[in-house]
Structure 1
């Protein structure tokens, strides 16, 4: 199996997208189901709410702008909460008090990926970037954490082993803002308008938080195809 060409999987998603939270669990379950297939996972940015300012806004203001009122979202949230629970995830929508712009979250994920490279180890299923993304999602969906808070972001990075002082200093700059914006724009230009979207081998896109068994089937089929063509 070591001679198989690894399948590249680009996962386009946003930290505050509940279906991306669920989709992350499902793709990881799919990778476990197809564990004999070598893969290289890249986590790519998407801005679900690009209109939210960098400093964020109150959750009620956001829900009113997007759904008409906080009450209008409750019915929608119930379905997502149930879907999350079926995957063993917690979504406590009532705990979320502030809606963030996710630029800094995506910067952290990118930096975690770069940090992985300095460790001299190949990432397994997304490696440190996946850990960073999971931490941020759990903070937001499970704990109602304020992802507009530098202290919260720095602690999240420290929790996966990154240097807190370095992260704090970098967050105070515009480092990689243009890079992240460019990656998100690239996804948009490729026609990705809904997330999560899983792009296999750079050419096959699957949109939505599809069941793990279906994603595993796609992983096997596309891996077989690219290796036959190699």
Structure 2
């Protein structure tokens, strides 16, 4: 059994990030010889998103130049893909894209308690499946408490912006390493972007481990 650390650079309002994570889990089932540790790292898709957020459909059309029909088609595609992976995408007309800076700060706190993966998955579900505003401090506190963090500690971290500088530093670090889109999976010096198929991810992991083993 070989131990491998897999870094995932992602944002909790990125649908392809949860799809990519789910496909990674399928890939790992193909690798009996691998004992994987998954580490999530912050990436703000929309660092300049205002506090009030923006209608998601308008945001996608504005940012990516997608038509309304293309936006609807993508929603339907993601809903089907999610269902096949055991994840629910519940898109609705008034759904908003929100700022995730505070969410990443709470995720950093969770990482210090070895609970980051649990909170990351909880926030994906809260945003995409349960129609919750994960830019809202109360929602973040509730979700953090639900996976075992202390309420007072989370509230204090948000009020004082305790981990703001650390999150910015980590975000910038990955951008400096050339990460421009999410999800991006990194093993050693090898990186692969996008929600790839389980087979592709499994082969990527094998190749990265072989290069690590050969000292390349």
Same topology, TM > 0.5: yes
* Conserved 8 A contact 2:184-2:192: yes
* Conserved 8 A contact 1:100-1:147: yes
Count of matched residue pairs: 214
C-alpha RMSD over aligned residues: 2.2
Of the structure 1 ranges 58-67 and 37-46, higher mean CA displacement relative to structure 2 is found in: 58-67
TM-score, normalised with respect to structure 2: 0.89
Instruction: Tell me the residue number matched to 1:25.
Output: 22
Of the structure 1 ranges 136-145 and 38-47, higher mean CA displacement relative to structure 2 is found in: 38-47
Q: Secondary structure in 2 aligned to 1:158?
A: helix
Q: How does 1:190-205 map to 2 (within 5 A)?
A: 190-201=177-188, 203-205=189-191
Q: Secondary structure in 2 aligned to 1:8?
A: strand
Q: Secondary structure in 2 aligned to 1:93?
A: coil
Q: Does 1:213 align with 2:199?
A: yes
In structure 2, do the counterparts of structure 1 residues 83 and 52 end up closer, same or farther at CA, with 3 Å as the change threshold? same
TM-score, normalised with respect to structure 1: 0.84
Query: Any stretches of 5+ residues in structure 2 without a counterpart?
Result: none
Q: Does 1:169 align with 2:156?
A: yes
In structure 2, do the counterparts of structure 1 residues 225 and 156 end up closer, same or farther at CA, with 3 Å as the change threshold? same
Q: How does 1:1-230 map to 2 (within 5 A)?
A: 1=1, 4=2, 6-53=3-50, 55-59=51-55, 62-63=59-60, 65-66=62-63, 71-72=68-69, 73-94=71-92, 97-116=95-114, 128-201=115-188, 203-229=189-215
- Report the CA distance between 1:89 and its aligned residue: 1.3
Distance in structure 2 (CA, Å) of the matches to 1:57 and 1:69? 19
* Conserved 8 A contact 2:103-2:135: no
- Report the CA distance between 1:64 and its aligned residue: 5.6
Instruction: Tell me the residue number matched to 1:123.
Output: none
Query: Any stretches of 5+ residues in structure 1 without a counterpart?
Result: 117-127
Higher relative contact order, structure no. (Cα contacts within 8 Å, ≥ 6 residues apart): 1
- Report the CA distance between 1:11 and its aligned residue: 0.5
